[in-house]
Each structure stands twice: as structure tokens, then as C-alpha cells.
Amino acid sequence: MTSPYADAREWARDQSLANTPRLARLEAFAFQQHPEIAAGFGPDGASLAARWKPRSVVRSGAGIAFALLGIAGLIAPLAGVALYATGLSMFALVDPLPPEVAVPGAGICFAVAVVAQLVLWFAWLREGATWSPGTLTMTAAAAVMAGFAAIGLPRIAADRDYDLGGWLWPIIATFVVATALTAAILLRRRHRVAVVEDPAPSAPTLSDRERGRMLARELPELERTRIRADRDDALRILHERGLLDEDTLARALAADLGTLFTMDPIGRDAT
């Protein structure tokens, strides 16, 4: 997730006059290009940094693979139904497909579909087997389409005197697997992904202040200068807007980089 503000100055200009801004957030936005450092600025910094950390290549790849899997799980049975349907004269737009094409084509599509459903099941279990409307939609749709194909494909074979052979089995397998997974997801409708709340704020200690200072010092001097300028400008903007008094502004400007979070009051009533 990218930051909604380009820098701390922009964040300061957007603060409501009805709230007392949290300085931890101000400094975190100044350090937003370094979320691993902002994470050390108390609970507020950790919460913001968690949103800014880029997804790993592995996790991003897994997300893309899961999306492609879902597409395959929907398109494959849909293609299978389309193939067997065009083998019926009542559905064909032109001449019906010969059974030699419609039957094996539908069987291959549903073979792909059952593999996609099995992998989808594995992925669902690995993610904790929680309630998933998106997965439920994919599995239910596959089950319905497999049910139609299980009825329609034998009809094509009977009408054209064509031997089904083993082409019906992938359809039956898709119907069984997709129906079972749909039922499993429905049974887990009360098991939803837990929402993890931010930890309750606690009073910062001397070691917290020193840790924040040391984290900031890891950056090159030129980068620290840029961040301090952004931070101090944001503090002055808050002061000009009446959100910081003279004393707080003076103490904040004098504070070392990475230590503003220790000046925040304990509580959730600030922004």
C-alpha cells in the first residue's frame, strides 16, 4: 500500500483543526521511504510502516498465481459447457460441433477445471480455511457448470451415437470436488479472518527514544538532512495552523530525528 501523502508537509496541511495531531505519525510520514525505520516510532509508526512495506516478490507472485488459478477455475468449466452446448443443435449458432470435437474438448476443459479446484482447495486450507466469498463464488460456479455438463454431454453422445469413453469422468470429478469445497466453505462461514488491532499505546521509555535515534542515524547524512527539513517544515505548518503551541514546537524542533513519538500523549484521541 502506498502512502496517501507525499511527505510530512502534506500530512500536516491535511490535519483536522478539531484534533491534536500525533507527532509519531508526522515523523513516520517524513520517514515513509524507510518503513523499516518508521516502524520503530512507537505503535503509530509501526502501524503506518506495516502498510507501507512492499510485498515480497514471493507473496506478490503467489497473489498473481492465485488470481490466475481463479480465472482458470472459472474459464475452464465455462469453456467446457460452451463446447458441449455447441454440440447440441438447439444451442449451435451455425452447424453443431461434431461429437468428436465437442466431447473430448469438454472433457479436457473439465480436466483443467478439476486440477484448478484441487489447487484452489489446497490454497484455501493453507490460508486458514476461513470464510471466503470469492473462493465460494468460483467453486459454486464450477459445480453448477459441471452439473450441466454431466447431463448434457451424455445426451450429445446418445444423439450422435458416439462413445463417451472416459470423457465424462473429468466432469464428474469437477462436480464432486467443487461441490465438496463449496460445502466446506459454507460450513466455515463463521470463521472469518481475524482483524488485528493496533497495540494499545504505552508510555515510551528511554530505551525507546534511544532506539529511534539510532535507527535514524543509520541513514546517510544527506538523507537525514532531507528528512529533518520535511519534518521541521511539517511542525511549523502545524504551529501556523494552531495545532501546536510555541513550547511544543520548540521542543519538537530541538528533538533528535526518530524521537518525536516520545512526545505524544498516551491515548487514541489524537490523529
In the chain, which residue ranges form alpha helices assigned H by DSSP? 8-13, 23-30, 35-38, 42-52, 57-85, 99-126, 133-159, 169-187, 206-217, 221-240, 246-254
Taking the C-alpha atoms of residue 20 and residue 61, their distance in angstroms, rounded to an integer, is 41
Phi, psi (degrees; rounded to nearest 5) at 244 = -130, 135
DSSP structure class, residue 129? S
Taking a C-beta distance cutoff of 8 angstroms, is the pair 230, 7 a contact? yes
What SS3 class is residue 102?
Answer: helix
pLDDT at 128: 81
Residue 144 has which C-alpha cell? Answer: 453448477
Lowest mean pLDDT among 67-76, 96-105, 163-172: 67-76
Domain boundaries, the chain: 8-34+207-263, 57-187
pLDDT digits (tens, 9 = 90+) for 197-226: 444 455 455 577 888 889 899 899 999 999
- Percent of the chain residues topping a pLDDT of 70: 80
